[in-house]
Amino acid sequence: MLKSIIRKEILNNLFSYKFSIIFILSTILILVSIFVMYRDYCLALDNHDILRKESGNSATVIPPTPLGIFAKGLDENLCRPWELEAVGVEISSEEQKSLNNLFKLFTAPDLLYIIKVILSLCAMLFAFDMVSGEKETGTLRQSLSNSLKRPILIFGKWLGGFTSFILPFFMAVLLGTILVTLSPMVDINAQGWARLGLFILSGVIYLAVFFSLGLLISCLTHRSSTSLVISLFVWTILVFLIPNLGNILARQFVQIPTAQQLELKREQIRNKFNSEYDRILKTQPDFKEREKALLRRYVAEGDKLDEDYRNRFNSLVTVSQNITRFSPAAAFTFLATDIMGTGMAEERRLKRAAQQYRDILLEWYTDENRDEESKEPAFGYQRSSVKGALGQGGLSNCLVLILLNVLFLTGAYVAFLRYDVR
Amino acid sequence: MLKTIIAREFLNNILNLRFMIGLVLCIIVTVACIMILAHDYQQEMTDYNIRVNLQDKILDNYAKANFFRLWRMIRLQKPPERFRPLIIGIPGNENLGFFDDNPLPILFPPLDFLFIVTIIMSLLAILFSHDAIAGERQSGTLRLVISNSISRTKILFGKFIGGTTSLIIPFILSLLVGALYISINPSIQWDGSAWAELALLTAASITFITLFYLLGLMVSTFSRYSTTSILNCLFLWILLVLVIPNVCPYISAQLYRIPSIKETERKNREIEIHSIEVARELMKESVKKFKSSYGKLFSEFESMEFGGIGTRFVLERDAGPEHEKAAQQRAEADPEFKAMMDAFREEGKKAQKELIRVREESDMLDKDLETKAAAQTKLAKNLACISPFANFVYVARGLTGTGLRSLDYFEQTKDEYENQLRPYLSKKIDDAREKNPALEEESLLDVSDRPRFAFKEEALKEKLNEILPYWGILVLFNVVFFVAAFAGFIIYDVR
Amino acid sequence: MIEINELTKRYEDGVLALDHVNYTVEQGEIFCLLGANGAGKTTTINILLDFIPPTSGHAFINGHDCNKFPLKAKKYVSYVSENVQLYGMFTARQNLAFFAELAGKTGLKKKNYDDVMRTVGLPEKALRMRLKHFSKGMRQKLGIAIALLKDPPAILMDEPTSGLDPTSAQEFLAQLRRLKEQGKAILMTTHDIFRAKLIADRVGIMKQGRLVAVRKKQDFKHADLEEIYMHEMQAAETVS
């Protein structure tokens, strides 16, 4: 019985108008997205090469990740070149910038965006009339007039429906990935492939959430036009309202100075340092010791400022994540960017690494026993492993998605058991 | 007859679940959004005031009599845009950026009035209109209406007016509530021009919303069933709102290739090296010439590292202040030595001119890159005009000073201020030096009477000139969709 | 085969759709339920198919309580709805195959489909046509074909002749007679007094949830069924 239902559901969808449109749309979008982001990646890689050549060993800039083609996240931020100051870290400017200013006005159309926004809508459009629509046409009655258990019917519908929805997605992503990885500029290692696989898996779980939600709405309504309106309403809230509003809301709970203000405060410290430094007479015998002591004192003051700011910032991110976590879109964004190494976890890690590097340099510089010939220690950084990224709360995002799936599916099941099919 | 159709369409929508949902969503989100953003604006203003004070403090306490160090201390602060309670602007200095900035807005573009209009209202418009024709055909009421003596034109027109009216009402209501909140909020000071801009923004929003209503109406006249109609409408919506605007900057980057930064950097480096070589050759020639002319005198001069003239990277010598002093003293003592030194200085100036001339080539390259980049941005902007979403974004951001143009305008006012400040600072340093010739570069300078930076909003007239073409495109879309809907309805099979 | 025992249904809004109704339909019998809209005819069928539960009383199909053991009961019944829609994008064959599978009939061959199409009077080439191109009459016939493929001992039909042209309706009645000869118990709700007279073995007249009269064939074979119907309705009015 279940097999018949699944087969019928798949076939029915394959012949339907909405399947053709969604198939065409998602294929075009996914391929265009991968291609467009691939070119963007090539540009970023080019820029990175210049910077590396310019600064050589002491380059403090990390290369863009090819996985950014699929989930750009914060990669542009992560790959900015920066310079260490005794107090604070500054972004060194001009060389790396998007010359086309329009990038600032619109969102990057990476695969993450396509899945998060567009395909989630498509999933709901696929599922919204699975039950209410069949009620309207009378085929639901016809099916249930046989000795067919309702749970089997609803599960068969879910399985058949979701399979027919996810197939075009898979094919398009596979095609796009193959085309892109054929390029010599894209070098994905084994870990990278594992990440990509996990990313696609999380995308499937995310889309299943919306599919189940669409089915639930269908089981709670009796006309497909009503299901449609409610589905669109819910989609807007979950994908746009909660994540975006949540972040602004978080800023109301956690007071944090802007980065510009922080920079000015550092400037103040730097100027204080310079004044005192100027006053130390170079002719004094203990000049070098005094200089080092002064440097240490001001670095400590700058560190205190930084630590205060960083604590506030971390709590802002935590509050933000907690508020927005109820939205599958937010949970998916955090999860996917963490998996691909372009998320908040990576960003935090890089900042910490910059801090540590600054400390190492300071040590090296103030070390009396330093060998005069020794070179400045270079900055080395590897993006965190998937385990590391997921360990920092990434798994809880995955759990949220799975839980939502279970919740909506259970809701659909319960609703369908008492659904009036007349 | 027309009034009857309008009234019926209006009532039909109002009594519908869609209207309730739309109304509720609109009002709640708009009001919540404005309240939160207004609070946000207050925080930004506070932060801005702190920054201005900090900047003043830095200059008051640490201004030194060294132009370059002083210049480095100047960091002009941009106040939050006055329309921030409604529309969040683009983060300013993205080129420079800050290592410690908050990256969350990159992952989640913030919710503001623009979002409400472009996403929520456009979706609502489609929901209201997608079954205006197809749905009535299915229920059989279309046949009934047309069986009376009323022209199809009147019917379509009536549907349009009745439908858009029922759509615009929740929108205007929620905007009024928001405007009220802004006007009673003491920390938001809006003058006449700001309210005028809001009125214009409302008008532009209405143009945008009716555009999508007409899109739905048009698709409905080409569909037999409302399910087909809504699917087609949604896919068009996805393309026009979610896809085209986001993809255009990237496509234009492919279509209009600009020399890669790598290429330009490489060329610049070549030019720099070449210019140094040219200057070096010239100086070497001069050295040879002077050696043969002045002989021993010149050798003595050479031992003083040429008094620091044209040394460093051209003649690759390390000349310190002691060499300068020594040469100066020698010149004062020996007029022949002085003449030779002056002549050599002239040669140095010639070489420098040559350096500057060759370097101008590199400046040309940079300018060329800038021009090409601007052209690429323009292409992207024009490509995106296919999407009404992009056009509306340009209009809204242009009107309210929250777009790219306002960033350029800020740079412009910054330059104007810097042109005022530069001579003031130089004069200050010169005056101080005059008073005290022994003034050291580390000495503090009092710049408390410096000209202050006051950011003014761009005039509305200028803004209008910029955005009117895009508004015109929105109006054009409206016309095209209405004409297409009309054409579709005239031949529509009502059975 | 079909037994209705003190069946009562009161909806949430207070409407009494069935009021202690009693009757049976034996094998090889066609029982027509007549009545105005809202009389309770469709409610009866909905209870038999376990779409809604009864307030009190029982409905049985082949001895199985439809509310307590719906899956068992539904094994023995087929359903032909008033407006047969089915899956528009599927061909007739695909629709037949799907519902046959639901009915537990696997391994059906082309011959089975051809036979059933012939039986209901549809051309074989219609097997390959998509449902959305079928006329109402054709769809009705296909609805019966689905019921035939299941080959159950009982068939429920809800207003099967509504909207059919005279020829199609005639063919439909002939089909019903064949089913009756095969020994099927057929419960049919209808407004169509004319055709009820032609086909029914017994007629039940319902008014406002009550079964006000049951007449055998010999009672109305030579009489005006419409007159009997109107008389019974008026009598019921007087009593209440």
pTM to 2 decimals? 0.85
- Supply φ then ψ for residue B66, to 5 degrees: -130, 115
* Whole-number pLDDT of residue A96: 45
Instruction: Flag whether pLDDT at B311 surpasses 80.
Output: no
Residue A121 has pLDDT above 70, yes or no: yes
* pLDDT the model gives residue A328: 95
Task: Count the residues in chain C.
Answer: 240
- A59 pLDDT band (50/70/90 cuts)? low
With CB atoms and an 8 Å threshold, state whether A421 touches C51. yes
Q: What pLDDT, on the 0 to 100 scale, is given for residue C132?
A: 83
Give me B30's structure tokens: 């708009």
DSSP-based three-state secondary structure for A137: helix
For residue A68, the surrounding DSSP H or E stretch is none
Nearest to B83 by CA among B189, B206, B205: B189
pLDDT tens readout for residues B173-190: 888 988 999 999 888 888
Q: Give yes or no for residue C240 having a pLDDT over 80.
A: no
Q: Take residue B473 and report the two structure tokens written for it.
A: 């495109």
For residue A202, give its domain range: 2-236+405-417
CB contact under 8 A, A8 and C83: no
For range A403-420, the mean pLDDT: 95
Residue A221 placed within a domain: yes
- Reported as a pLDDT band with limits 50, 70 and 90, residue B331 is confident
| Residue A282 resides in a domain | no
Instruction: Give C218's strand partners.
Output: none
State the Cα–Cα distance between residues B469 and B449, nearest whole angstrom. Answer: 44
Say which of A74, A233, A264 has its CB closest to residue B54: A264
The answer to whether A102 and A88 have CB atoms below 8 angstroms apart is no
Taking CB atoms and an 8 Å cutoff, what residues of chain A touch B115? 240, 244
* Beta-carbon contacts of residue B171 (< 8 Å; ≥ 6 apart): B26, B117, B121, B205, B206, B209
For residue B188, what is the DSSP state?
Answer: -
Q: What is the mean pLDDT of residues A59-78?
A: 87
| CA separation for the pair B335, B313 (Å, rounded) | 29
The answer to whether the CB of A108 falls within 8 A of the CB of A97 is: no
Nearest-CB residue to C103 (from A8, A144, A146): A146
Q: Residue A378: what pLDDT? A: 80
Task: Please report the pLDDT score of residue B94 as a whole number.
Answer: 43
- B258 → chain A, closest CA residue: A99
Query: Measured between alpha carbons, how far is B432 from A400 in angstroms, rounded to an integer?
Result: 67
Residue from B111, B101, B115 nearest A248 by CA: B111
- Listed by number, the residues of chain A in 61-90 with a beta carbon closer than 8 Å to a beta carbon of chain C are none
Cβ atoms of residues A164 and A19 within 8 Å = yes
* Residues of chain A with C-beta less than 8 angstroms from the C-beta of B247: 32-33, 36, 109
Say which amino acid occupies A143.
S
Instruction: Give residues with Cβ within 8 angstroms of A318, minimum separation 6.
Output: none
Helix, strand, or coil here: A235? helix
pLDDT tops 90 at residue C56: yes
Task: List CB contacts of B460: < 8 A, sequence separation 6 or more.
Answer: B193, B196, B197
Tell me the three state secondary structure of residue B148.
coil
**H helices then E strands: how many in chain B?**
19, 0
**Given this model, what pLDDT does residue C169 score?**
85
pLDDT digits (tens, 9 = 90+) for B214-254: 999 999 999 998 888 999 999 999 999 988 888 888 888 87
Return mean pLDDT, chain B.
84
Which tokens go with B299? 């050798």
The predicted model gives B439-465 an average pLDDT of: 83
Domain spans of chain B, in order of start: 2-97+106-257+384-490, 261-374
Collect all residues with Cβ–Cβ distance below 8 Å to C227 and sequence separation of at least 6.
none
State the pLDDT at residue B93.
43
Of residues B355 and A221, the one with the higher pLDDT is A221
B308 and chain A in contact, CB less than 8 A = no
In a domain, A212, yes or no: yes
Q: Report how far residue A183's alpha carbon sits from residue B254's, in angstroms, rounded to the nearest whole number.
A: 17
**Domain range annotation of chain C:** 2-76+154-239, 86-151
Say if CB B388 and CB B211 are below 8 A apart.
Answer: yes
Q: Which of A11, A138, A143 sits opposite C102 (nearest CB)?
A: A143
> CA geometry: angle at B110 spanning B24 and B102, to 5°?
150
- A residues 349-408 lying closer than 8 A (beta carbon) to C: none
Q: In whole angstroms, what is the distance from residue B470 CA to residue B463 CA?
A: 12
Q: Is B231 on the interface with A (CB under 8 A)?
A: yes
Q: For position B248, what pLDDT does the model report? A: 87
Is the pLDDT confidence value at A95 over 50?
no
Bridge partner residues of C185 (DSSP): C154
Query: Does residue B310 surpass a pLDDT of 70?
Result: no
Contact call for residues B247 and A109 (beta carbons, < 8 A): yes
Contact between residue C122 and residue C141 where contact means Cβ atoms under 8 Å apart: yes
A347 within some domain: no
Distance between CA atoms of residues A113 and A110, nearest Å: 5
Provide the pLDDT confidence category of residue C33 given band limits of 50, 70 and 90: very high
Across the range B276-285, mean pLDDT stands at 83
Is A107 within a domain? yes
Look up residue C29 and give its two tokens.
């019998």
- Chain A residues whose CB is inside 8 A of the B258 CB are 99
Residue with tokens 């779409």: C51
Neighbours of chain C (3+ CB pairs under 8 A): A
| Chain B neighbors of A333, CB-CB under 8 A | 107-108
The neighbour count for residue B106, using CB atoms within 10 Å, is: 18
For chain A, the domain total comes to: 1
pLDDT of B78: 84
Picking from C13, C51, C134 by the largest number of A CB atoms within 10 A of its own CB, the best residue to mutate is C51
B492, B221 Cβ separation under 8 angstroms? yes
Neighbours of B151 (CB within 10 A): 12
- In tens, the pLDDT along A71-86 reads 998 888 888 877 777 6
Residue type, A412: A
Residues B108-153: tens digit of each pLDDT: 877 888 888 999 899 989 988 998 999 888 877 787 777 777 788 8
Q: Is A139 on the interface with C (CB under 8 A)?
A: yes
Mean pLDDT taken over chain A: 86
Q: Which of residues 145-174 of A touch C (CB under 8 A)?
A: 145-149
- pLDDT exceeds 50 at position B154: yes
- Read off the pLDDT of residues A224-276 as tens digits, 9 standing for 90 and up: 888 998 999 899 989 988 888 888 888 888 888 888 888 888 888 888 888 88
- Strand, coil or helix: what is B64? strand
User: A330 to chain B: which residues are within 8 Å by CB?
Assistant: 108
- DSSP E strands in A26-134: the ranges are 82-84, 89-91
Which of the four pLDDT bands, split at 50, 70 and 90, describes residue A87? low
Whether the per-residue pLDDT at A58 is higher than 80: the answer is no
Residue range B2-12: average pLDDT?
82
- The residue that leads in pLDDT, B52 or A380, is B52
Average pLDDT for C193-219 = 90
Average pLDDT for B56-77: 82
Q: Is A183 inside a domain boundary? A: yes
Provide the pLDDT for residue A98.
Answer: 53
In a domain, residue A317? The reply is: no
Say which range, A192-201, B282-291, B467-476, C211-220, has the weakest mean pLDDT. Answer: B282-291
pLDDT in tens, A316-325: 988 988 888 8
* Cross-chain CB nearest to B111 (options A97, A240, A268): A240
Q: What is the pLDDT of residue A281?
A: 65
Q: What's the pLDDT at B152?
A: 86
Q: Decide if A345 is inside a domain.
A: no
Rounded distance between C-alpha atoms, residue A176 and residue C225, angstroms: 72
User: Could you tell me if B464 and B203 are in contact, meaning their C-beta atoms sit under 8 angstroms apart?
Assistant: no
* Residue listed under structure tokens 């602004």: A248
Between CA B437 and CA A413 the distance in angstroms is 90
pLDDT at A188 over 70: yes
Instruction: Name the pLDDT band for B96 (thresholds 50, 70, 90).
Output: very low
pLDDT the model gives residue B255: 81
| Measured distance CA(A168)–CA(B158) in Å, rounded | 42
Q: Do A104 and B404 touch (CB under 8 A)?
A: yes
For residues C7-28, average pLDDT: 92
| Three-state helix/strand/coil letters over chain C | CEEEEEEEEECCCCCEEEEEEEEEECCCCEEEEEECCCCCHHHHHHHHCCCCCCCEEEEEECCEECCCCHHHHHCCEEEECCCCCCCCCCEHHHHHHHHHHHCCCCCCCHHHHHHHHHHHCCCHHHHHCEHHHCCHHHHHHHHHHHHHHHCCCEEEEECCCCCCCHHHHHHHHHHHHHHHHCCCEEEEEECCHHHHHHHCCEEEEEECCEEEEEEEHHHHCCCCHHHHHHHHHHHHHHHC
Q: Which residue of A has its CA nearest to B16?
A: A226
Q: In 10 A of CB A406, how many CB atoms?
A: 12
- Would you identify the CATH topology of the domain C2-76+154-239? Rossmann fold (3.40.50)
Q: Is there a contact between A351 and B99 (Cβ–Cβ < 8 Å)?
A: yes
Which whole number is the average pLDDT over C160-182?
87
What's the CA gap between A28 and A114, in Å, rounded? 11
What are the distances in angstroms from CA C143 to CA B190, B309, C138, C178? 70, 105, 9, 16
User: Can you tell me the mean pLDDT for A151-156?
Assistant: 94
- Which of A96, A226, A249 lies at the smallest CB-CB distance from B17? A226
Nearest to B262 among A50, A99, A105 (CB): A50
b (16+ CB within 10 A) / e for C21-32: bebebeebbbbb
Q: Per-residue pLDDT for B271 more than 60?
A: yes
Among A107-111, B99-103, B464-468, the range of highest mean pLDDT: B464-468
- Summarised one tens digit per residue, pLDDT across range A339-361 is 999 988 888 888 888 888 888 88
